[in-house]
Amino acid sequence: MSKITVVVCDHIHHSGLDLLARESDIEMINAADESKSRLIEEFLPKADVAITRSSTDVDERFLQYATGIKAIVRAGVGVDNVDIDGCSKRGIIVMNVPTANTIAAVELTMAHMISCARRFPYAHNNLKLDRVWKRENWYGTELKDKKLGIIGFGNIGSRVGIRAKAFEMDVIAYDPYIDPTKVTNLDMKYTQNFDEILACDIITIHTPKTDETINMIGRDEIAKMKDGVTLINCARGGLYNEEALLEGLKSGKIAMAGIDVFDKEPATSHPFLDLNNVTVTPHLGANTLESQYNISLQAAEQAIEAGRGISYPNALNLPFKESELPNFVKPFLGLMQKMGYLSAQITKSAIKSIKVTAEGKIGDYCESLGTFATVGVLTESLGDQINYVNAEFVAQERGIEVIKEVVPNTSGFNNKIKIKLTTQASTIMISGTVFDENVQRIIGIDEYVLDVEPKGNMIFFRNKDTPGVIGDVGHIIAEHSLNISDFRLGRDNKGQAMAVVRVDGHITKEVIAQLAALKASISVSHASI
pLDDT tens by residue, 31-74: 999 999 999 999 999 999 999 998 899 999 999 999 999 999 99
The band of 324, judged by pLDDT with boundaries at 50, 70 and 90, is: low
What local confidence, expressed as pLDDT, does residue 178 receive? Answer: 87
What local confidence, expressed as pLDDT, does residue 384 receive? Answer: 66
What local confidence, expressed as pLDDT, does residue 464 receive? Answer: 95
Catalytic positions, please? Answer: 236, 265, 283
Above 60 in pLDDT, residue 277?
Answer: yes
pLDDT tens by residue, 327-347: 789 899 989 999 999 999 999
Above 90 in pLDDT, residue 281?
Answer: yes
Query: Do residues 52 and 9 touch, judged by C-beta distance below 8 A?
Result: yes
What local confidence, expressed as pLDDT, does residue 187 receive? Answer: 97
Burial pattern 219-240, b for ≥16 Cβ within 10 A else e, equals eebbeebeeebbbbbbbbbbbb
283: left (phi over 0), alpha (psi -120 to 50) or beta: left
Read off the pLDDT of each residue in 105-113 and give the average, rounded to a whole number.
Answer: 98
Residues 6+ positions from 361 with CB-CB distance below 8 Å: 328, 414, 415
Above 60 in pLDDT, residue 167?
Answer: yes
pTM of the model: 0.76
Above 70 in pLDDT, residue 435?
Answer: yes
- Distance CA(1)–CA(388), nearest Å, equals 31
Domains plus CATH for the chain? 4-100+290-308 (3.40.50.720), 102-280 (3.40.50.720), 325-446 (3.30.1330.90), 456-529 (3.30.70.260)
Provide the mean pLDDT of the chain. Answer: 93
